[in-house]
Structures are given as structure tokens and as C-alpha cells.
């Protein structure tokens, strides 16, 4: 089924109208997140809906499993938020008013998401290396993410084995932040082992360094 959508770069969540969900008899998981619209006006979110989604731009198609916030009387079929664009690796050319998939990457493709394996309570201004659930096996690069609760996920090459990987999460806030089990924390890119060195160089390029430490 095709749904017309409006790109909203000011929103993290992707929001779908409740009538579209009910019309297609899609399952709604309740309750949903607390959402606010422009001007701090509340949106009545009735729950979330997990859907396998295809996005086609210029005859190129990518697919991913996404969670949509379901909102009553949205006024538009779909509001496409930052997370959606992030997972599909969509570039926005504002001047030309065009969208495109990111190309010329040494990674194979952008994939679904990484989720917490267990619940987490992160102390203020602290960081932890946690185990997380990965949908693939191999060498992956978690895409750096800032969650709405304030938790940050670092960009670091990691090995995924038996659907488990490790993530560095940071809490820069002054309050303790809790993440639930199976909480979405990052998307990722699957990389070839031969290109790991190139990926690391992209993450941190050292310039103007006159000294080094040898172990």
C-alpha cells in the first residue's frame, strides 16, 4: 500500500494517521510515546505500529522495519521524521527540493536498527559499554545517535556475533536516564572487514600530531 507523506525534519519520530492503520488492519501496540506539535500543541498518540517499509527514490528502492507513532486525526497520511531519513540514509537537497539516497559509500548498505538487550539505568554524566541486539552478524558501524531522552550512542566499529554487539552509550545530562529492554538505540552500516581501516580513518582523522605513543 502506498501512503503519501510529508517530510518533517523538525521531528524525530515518523507519525502515521490512525485511520490508515485501522483501514489496513495493522496491529497497534499501546501506549505510544508522548508527542508535541509545533507551538507545543499536543498530538494524541494512541500507540505505535511496526511495519516493513519500502522507500523508492529515482527507481532505487530500500526497505527496513520501522516503528511508527500512530496519531488520531493527524491531518496528513504520514509525517516522515528524522529517524526515518536516518535509517534509509536519505539526503535532502533543499535548494532543488529533491531527495536522494546517499551513494559512493564504502559500506554495503544502511540496515535496520540496534536495540538494547537489557534495561539500562545510566547515571548523570557517565558512559557505559553495553550489550545490544543486532539483526546481522559481521562487522558493523553503529551510526551516532542522540535519543530524545538525552542518551548518546557513539560511532565505533564493532563486531556482531550471535545477534549481539556492543555499544558505547553516554549520558551527558544532569539526571539519571533509563532505557527499557528492546529500546531502539541506533541504526547501523554493515562494512567489509577489508575496509575497517578506512572506516576508522573517517571516524577520527588526526592532523598536526607531532608525537605518538607506541605500545
How high is the pLDDT of residue 20?
92
Instruction: State the Cα–Cα distance between residues 171 and 122, nearest whole angstrom.
Output: 6
* Integer Cα distance of 121 and 135 in angstroms: 23
Asked if residue 96 and residue 10 are part of one domain, the reply reads: yes
| Domain membership flag for residue 131 | yes
Domain stops at, among 83, 101, 119: 101
**Chain centre distance of CA 132:** 14
User: Residues of the chain with pLDDT > 90: what percent?
Assistant: 20
In a domain, 213, yes or no: no
- 207 vs 16: CA distance, rounded Å: 46
H-type alpha helices, the chain: 18-23, 82-88, 196-203
Whether residues 132 and 85 fall in one domain? no
pLDDT digits (tens, 9 = 90+) for 112-157: 578 888 988 999 999 999 999 887 778 888 876 777 788 888 877 8
How high is the mean pLDDT of the chain?
79
Mean pLDDT of the region 182-197: 72
Clarify whether residues 119 and 74 are in a common domain: no
Residues 59, 147 share a domain: no
88 versus 189: the higher-pLDDT residue is 88
Instruction: Tell me: do 113 and 59 sit in the same domain.
Output: no
* Greatest CA separation for the chain: 64
Question: Are 162 and 180 in the same domain?
Answer: yes
Q: Specify the pLDDT at position 123.
A: 92
Residue 136: the pLDDT is 75
**Can you give the pLDDT at residue 39?**
61
CA distances to 15, 53, 63, 123 from 66, in Å: 11, 7, 9, 29
Tell me if 211 is assigned to some domain: no
The CATH number assigned to the domain holding 138 equals 2.70.40.10
* Same domain, yes or no: 27 and 49: yes
Q: Which residue range forms the structural domain that includes residue 114? A: 109-203
End position of a domain, from candidates 101, 129, 159: 101
* Predicted confidence band of residue 193 (pLDDT cuts 50, 70, 90): low
pLDDT at 105: 42
Sign, CA dihedral 68-167-149-145, equals negative
> Looking at the structure, do residues 115 and 77 belong to the same domain, yes or no?
no
Write down the pLDDT at residue 126: 92
Task: Domain count for the chain, please give it.
Answer: 2
Grid cell at residue 44: 494524541
Residue 170, C-beta contacts closer than 8 angstroms, at least 6 positions apart: 126, 127, 151, 152, 153, 154
Least confident of 34-43, 105-114, 136-145: 105-114
Please tell me whether residues 61 and 90 are part of one structural domain. yes
> Is residue 15 domain-shared with residue 96, that is, in the same domain?
yes
Same domain (yes/no): 60, 12: yes
Please tell me whether residues 80 and 136 are part of one structural domain: no
Mean local confidence (pLDDT), 2-8? 85
Residue at 65 is within a domain: yes
Average pLDDT over residues 43-64: 87
Quick one: CA dihedral 189, 194, 200, 205, positive or negative? Answer: negative
Amino acid at each position: 500500500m502506498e501512503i503519501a507523506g510529508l517530510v518533517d525534519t523538525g521531528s524525530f519520530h515518523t507519525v502515521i494517521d490512525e485511520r490508515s492503520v485501522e483501514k489496513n488492519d495493522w496491529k497497534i501496540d499501546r501506549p505510544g510515546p508522548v508527542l508535541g506539535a509545533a507551538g507545543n500543541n499536543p498530538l494524541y498518540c494512541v500507540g505505535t505500529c511496526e511495519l516493513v517499509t519500502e522507500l523508492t527514490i529515482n527507481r532505487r528502492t530500500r526497505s527496513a522495519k520501522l516503528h511508527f507513532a500512530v496519531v488520531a486525526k493527524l491531518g496528513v497520511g504520514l509525517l516522515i521524521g528524522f529517524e526515518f531519513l536516518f535509517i534509509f540514509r536519505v539526503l535532502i537537497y533543499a535548494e532543488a527540493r529533491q531527495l536522494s539516497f546517499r551513494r559512493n559509500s564504502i559500506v554495503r548498505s544502511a540496515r535496520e536498527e540496534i536495540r538494547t538487550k537489557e534495561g539500562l539505568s545510566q547515571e548523570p554524566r557517565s558512559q557505559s559499554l553495553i550489550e545490544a541486539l543486532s539483526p546481522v552478524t559481521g562487522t558493523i558501524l553503529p551510526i551516532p545517535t542522540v535519543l530524545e531522552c538525552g542518551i548518546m550512542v557513539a560511532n565505533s566499529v564493532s563486531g556482531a556475533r550471535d545477534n549481539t554487539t556492543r555499544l558505547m552509550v553516554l549520558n551527558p545530562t544532569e539526571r539519571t536516564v533509563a532505557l527499557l529492554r528492546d529500546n531502539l538505540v541506533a541504526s547501523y552500516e554493515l562494512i567489509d572487514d577489508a575496509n575497517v581501516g578506512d572506516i576508522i580513518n573517517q571516524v577520527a582523522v588526526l592532523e598536526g600530531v607531532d608525537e605518538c605513543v607506541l605500545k
